[in-house]
Structure 1
Amino acid sequence: MFLRVLKAKLHLATVTRTDVNYHGSITIDEDLMDAVGLLPFEQVLIGNCNNGARGETYVLRGPRGSGAIELNGAMAHLAAPGHRIIIMSFAFMKPKKARHAKPQVAILNEANRIIEQFAGEPENPVDPV
């Protein structure tokens, strides 16, 4: 048996652009991808904090240091620029390994800069907004 466990999360990312006429995906600043271990073409779940919408797509690399969080294709209907979203990736693990899993988490400010980063659970789980 395998369990689907959180692997990586970008929390409160700000959507910088949407493009409904592009192939479906989410473009993410490569520095942010590296911070939590996201890979190009990895499947992600996106939750919109503004309207509760959720959707799944895959990751494309955005320019390093750009702060880019761009929803493309059908995903562009999920949010508007300025909306705050949560980007999550999951991995399948056996229960024994899953008990000790520590997802890589980065909490972002409105400019998509990391304001807090940790593995596993936060020491003081307080919403920074």
Structure 2
Amino acid sequence: MLVNVVKSKIHRVKVTGAELHYIGSITIDEDLMDAAGVIEGERVQIVNVTNGERLETYAIPGPRKSGEVTLNGAAARKVAKGDILILITYAFMELDEAKAFKPSLVFPNEETNLLN
């Protein structure tokens, strides 16, 4: 049996931009993606701590050491620059594997979105 478990979480990052006229996705500083084990194109659940919105899109890498967290396309309507987000990815695993699995938890600097 497969179960769907939290694979990684980037906890409390600040939205740096919202680009409505873009195909879609969330642009995330590639350093944050690497730290959390998020790959380009991976599904990301976005929890907006500021306004309570929840949505899903896919990740694309942004420039390293930029702290960029930009919502693109329709998702841009669900955030405002400065909102605080939690980014979560999930993975399907066999039950025994899931019981032993430890997700990657990343806690960047909340003001800069950079790793400490």
**TM-score bucket (shorter structure):** over 0.9
**In 1: Cα distance, 2:84 partner to 2:107 partner:** 11
User: What is the CA–CA distance in structure 1 between the aligned matches of 2:46 and 2:111, rounded to whole Å?
Assistant: 17
1:51 counterpart = 2:41: no
Matched, 1:21 2:21: yes
The CA distance in 2 between the partners of 1:64 and 1:76, in whole Å, is 22
Counterpart-to-counterpart distance in 2, 1:52 and 1:18: 17
Deviation of 1:78 after TM superposition, in Å, equals 1.4
Unaligned segments of structure 1, at least 5 residues? 116-129
In the alignment, the residues of structure 1 paired with residue 77 and residue 97 of structure 2 have an alpha-carbon distance, to the nearest angstrom, of 37
2:41 corresponds in structure 1 to 41
The equivalent of 1:125 in structure 2 is: none
Could you report, residue by residue, the CA deviation over 1:28-52 in whole angstroms, capped at 9, with x for unpaired residues?
0001100110000000100000111
Q: Answer 1 or 2: higher relative contact order, Cα 8 Å, separation at least 6.
A: 2
TM-score, scaled to structure 1? 0.87
Q: Aligned residue for 2:4?
A: 4
- Show the counterpart of 1:114: 115
Aligned Cα RMSD in Å?
0.8
* Identity of matched residues, %: 45
Deviation at 1:107, TM superposition (A): 1.1
DSSP 3-state at the match of 1:67? coil
Q: Which runs of 4+ in 1 moved over 4 A?
A: none
Stretches of structure 2 lacking an aligned partner (at least 5 in a row): none
Alpha-carbon distance in structure 1 between the residues aligned to 2:106 and 2:65:
15
